[in-house]
Amino acid sequence: AASETLLEVNNIEVIYNHVILVLKGVSLTVRKGGITALLGGNGAGKTTTLKAISNLLHSERGEVTKGSILYKGERVQDLDPAALVKRGVIQVMEGRHCFEHLTVEENLLTGAYTRKDGKAAVMADLEMVYDYFPRLKERRRSQAGYTSGGEQQMVAIGRALMSRPETILLDEPSMGLAPQLVEQIFEIVKAVNEGEGVSFLLAEQNTNVALRYAHSGYILENGRVVMEGPAGELRENPDVKEFYLGMS
Ligand code: ATP
């Protein structure tokens, strides 16, 4: 049985600076409990799609000029990012963005700022995050700015988990990381997906890794979805092999 649809992006168009049309009608669906990959090369529109969903385009002079974005059937495109977090959707931005002068643990705790369920629940979730990221427990008193790129990516995901999200929008987790670390991060994403039931919409240029961990995927080219389907089918698709997996 197909699981519940959480996020539904219907034919959205995004324009920057009133003139630059970047998304030309993008539609996608994120189902509960799934890992959905949003794939495509540099500049295809992955980040723009995630920012459109979490309403982060305004500061970049971008706007959704057509289409709709629904979460559990309700229109969310006019909500501010904090209101969206309350509905259970949080974005982990590309480039990680830790608070460099705070410790790893303080960074994680900032992720719980919207919660009203008390300190004990927050501390229990901190332990939950440390269970998924043992490395962060070791580094918990280190200043985040002095941790490695991989550790900062872990902090960014861990901080998102501290808001107890239902869905995480994860932008380019592999960026700048060595292959072994990329694999480690995806293993943790998978563990969180299976262990906590968190759904992921994951933007990635690394098609190979993403399609091994995702359940389904969309490939964006030049602001349009050109292919979509179950991850296993995309992996076997000759065009995907030739243009994205480099093994035709
Ligand atoms: P990347 O992996 O490089 O982030 P992407 O698929 O996420 O690629 P986007 O960042 O969404 O792509 O960019 C899509 C297009 O929109 C690119 O052509 C980019 O130059 C353009 N673009 C992005 N931000 C802006 C902006 N603030 N103003 C104008 N154009 C922008």
Q: Assess whether the C-beta atom of 55 lies below 6 angstroms from ligand 1.
A: no
Torsion of CA 13, 16, 20, 23, to 10 degrees: -30
Convert the pLDDT of each residue in 169-218 to its tens digit: 999 999 989 999 999 999 999 999 999 999 999 999 999 999 999 999 99
Q: Of 111, 109, 203, 96, which is closest to residue 152 (Cα–Cα)?
A: 96
DSSP per-residue codes, 74-129: EE-TTS-HHHHHHHTEEEE-TT----TTSBHHHHHHHTTTT--S-HHHHHHHHHHH
Report how many helices (DSSP H) and strands (DSSP E) the chain contains, helices first: 10, 10
Cα–Cα distance between 57 and 16 in angstroms, integer? 9
Q: What is the mean pLDDT of residues 224-236?
A: 96
Nearest residue (CA) to ligand 1, atom 23:
48
Q: Assess whether the C-beta atom of 21 lies below 6 angstroms from ligand 1.
A: no
pTM (predicted TM-score): 0.94
Q: Quickly state the pLDDT bin for 248 (edges 50, 70, 90).
A: very low
ipTM: 0.93
Torsion of CA 109, 33, 83, 43, to 10 degrees: 90
Q: Assess whether the C-beta atom of 205 lies below 6 angstroms from ligand 1.
A: yes
Q: What is the mean pLDDT of residues 152-161?
A: 96
Convert the pLDDT of each residue in 99-127 to its tens digit: 999 999 999 999 998 788 889 999 999 99
